[in-house]
Amino acid sequence: MASTTHIVTVLTILSLLACSVNAQLSSNFYATTCPNLQTIVRNAMTQAVNKEARIGASMLRLFFHDCFVNGCDASILLDDTATFTGEKNASPNRNSVRGFEVIDTIKTRVEATCNATVSCADILALATRDGVVLLGGPSWIVPLGRRDARTASQSAANNLPSPFSDLATLTSKFSAKGLSARDMTALSGGHTIGLARCSLFRTRIYNETNIDSNFATTRRANCPASGGDNNLAPLETQTSNRFDNNYYKDLVARRGLLHSDQVLFNGGSQDALVRTYSNNNAAFASDFAAAMVKMSNISPLTGTNGEIRRNCRVVN
């Protein structure tokens, strides 16, 4: 009995510690200062996704690339200037990350209702969740109260997880952000939506052997051995504008588009989980939502740190 009590006490302490790490983030942070915030964001994202379904995937990638560089602080939204080097021209981001105009639109609408109150970091977090939901994916409660960075790091952005990485490297990079291998595999399921450029999967479809031959042939038609670097292909073969578990079914069938996708199912530690997700959309959806909350809690600026930007592209 004593040992059971001890275990409960330890778990309670761990729970309190986990909460205290981001004690200043709260789902109702703007309840009184901007009560219509989530409606404004959802309405704008609905319009954006109805205009172009791909924007849901673009927002998810934008958020991922933000959070993995010094935390979820909207540093990725900052433009380069003559005296400031941002992250938009880092190798993984240049001519690749997109959706900035949608964030601008949301920010303008939010400012019109709640001037100098809501951070760009929180707007991006909410827009990402809504983009997933609007494409049929799971919802989650977004903790709020982040503030915006006054700095950016192109060098850190150049060290984002790569589409060419092996499983050990990916696991290590996610672990460095406090995310488990399970979180990594669940978050990779974000590739159920969106597109990738030929330059990122050319090596896979021409040189790798753990690939379905018909799939490789199909992808080669739009991705020549040389040239066509910016030609696009869907990251998932079946429902690329629908957030579901077909990404994992593709992996099991050796139809992962990126090297970093297929390494999740290639005789390694994540095979069993990939197979579980391929057979159980509810399990994937639940784990994805939980992992998104964890990722959104990476090193937020809170309290008096950072600022509330008036324009998401420039520091005040």
**Structural domains in the chain plus CATH codes:** 26-160 (1.10.520.10), 178-293 (1.10.420.10)
Residue 8 predicted with pLDDT over 50? no
pLDDT in tens, 176-189: 999 999 999 999 99
Q: What is the mean pLDDT of residues 34-55?
A: 98
pLDDT band at 236, cuts 50/70/90? very high
Q: What is the DSSP letter of 236?
A: S
Q: Using CA atoms, how far apart are residues 295 and 282, in angstroms rounded to an integer?
A: 20
pLDDT of 216 reads: 98
Confirm whether 6 is a catalytic residue. no
pLDDT of 1 reads: 47
Residue 13 predicted with pLDDT over 70? no
pTM, whole model, 2 decimals? Answer: 0.91
Pull the structure tokens for residue 16.
Answer: 């309190």
Instruction: Report residue 184: phi and psi, to 5°.
Output: -60, -45
Q: Using CA atoms, how far apart are residues 309 and 304, in angstroms rounded to an integer?
A: 13
pLDDT of 247 reads: 98
Closest CA to 48 of 122, 118, 123, 113: 123
Distances (CA, A) of 272 to 5, 185, 265: 34, 11, 8
Cβ contacts of residue 109 below 8 Å, gap of 6+? 40, 44
Task: Say if CB 301 and CB 308 are below 8 A apart.
Answer: no
pLDDT band at 95, cuts 50/70/90? confident
**Please, how many CA atoms are within 13 Å of residue 4, restricted to the half-sphere of its CB?**
1
Residues annotated in a binding site: 66, 69, 71, 73, 75, 87, 161, 191-192, 239, 244
- Pairing state between β 195-197 and 232-234: antiparallel
pLDDT of 15 reads: 44
**Full DSSP string of 243-277:** -SSHHHHHHHTT--SSHHHHTTSSSSTTHHHHHHH
pLDDT averaged over every residue in the chain: 93
- Out of 54, 61, 65, 202, which one is annotated catalytic? 65
Task: Say if CB 121 and CB 72 are below 8 A apart.
Answer: yes
